[in-house]
Amino acid sequence: MFTGALPLGWRLTFFLFAGVGAGIVNGVAGGGQFVTFPTLLALGTPALQANLSATVGIVPSYLGSLRVFRHQLRPHRKLIATLVPSCVLGTITGCALLLEGSPSAFRAIVPWLIGAGTVLFASSPLITRQLANVDHDHPPRRWPLFVAIYLASVYGGYFGAGLGIVLLAVMALALPLEIHALQVLRNALSMIINASAALIFLVHGHLAVAAVSMLLIGSLVGGWLGALLMVRLSPTLVRVAVITVGVVTTVKLALG
């Protein structure tokens, strides 16, 4: 794509704004990787390197939301602590599958992953409404929850687009909590999974350093703005934009 030949200054600017956009999307609706990953691809970054770099770059986007909603998290600290091992072990498994597999296999799988993630993201309002009606009179189903969070984390370590709605569905079916509390928990677990993957990818290397640097700055600012604007922006408009990016990226990769 012609954007791969842009001067460094313009490329850094695009990376910065992609980070801000991803942070806002994560704060308002989730799905920030649908912004960063296609941007890196468009600017000439190979698919595997783009995935690693996008995962590392969006980690700060969760900090803004966690800070804004820290009071809602306090009652669930013990639950989060019990789920950390499942998150970390699942992420390690997913990262191992990604890094030990061949780049060509990843390139072949990526259009399917982005397509599935886009469909999942587009369906999330319906899923959320259905999960809001789940009978929460039962006690938490601990072991199935641990296994399901592990499997979701495997996906997150391999390719994280759509991770948030997977976590939301899993927790809503296993925990006696209202949907708003589940949204806050989803943010916290997404942060743990993405941060764990980022540490592994940093040790592994092969990151697009300039892109990651700008994404880190942009996503930190964007995550804070997204958390503040959550009640002011139209989630529908944000969702439509994310879905559009996902569809265009899926088609382009499938045809290319």
Q: Say what percent of the chain tops pLDDT 90.
A: 37
pLDDT score for 171: 83
Q: Higher model confidence: residue 245 or residue 63?
A: 63
Return the top range by mean pLDDT from 7-11, 96-100, 126-130, 140-144. Answer: 96-100
Query: How far is Cα 114 from Cα 120, in angstroms, rounded to an integer?
Result: 10
186 half-sphere exposure, CB direction, 13 A CA radius? 26
Q: How far apart are CA 90 and CA 169, in angstroms?
A: 17
pLDDT tens for 114-160 read: 888 778 777 767 766 776 666 655 555 678 889 999 999 999 999 88
Domain containing residue 137:
2-255
User: Residue 199: what pLDDT?
Assistant: 96
- Total residues belonging to the chain: 256
pTM of the model: 0.83
Query: Per the structure block, which two tokens stand in for 224?
Result: 């804070």
Distance in angstroms (rounded) separating the CA atoms of residues 168 and 91: 17
Average pLDDT for the chain: 83
Amino acid 74: pLDDT = 84
Over residues 158-211, the pLDDT tens digits come to 988 778 778 877 887 778 777 677 778 888 999 999 999 999 999 998 899 999
Query: Buried b / exposed e across 218-245, counting CB within 10 Å, b at 16+?
Result: bbbbbbbbbbbebeebeeeebbebbbeb
Contact 17, 80 (CB under 8 A): no
Q: Is the pLDDT of residue 228 over 90?
A: no
The tally of domains found in the chain comes to 1
d(CA 224, CA 245): 22
Mean pLDDT across the stretch 59-84? 84
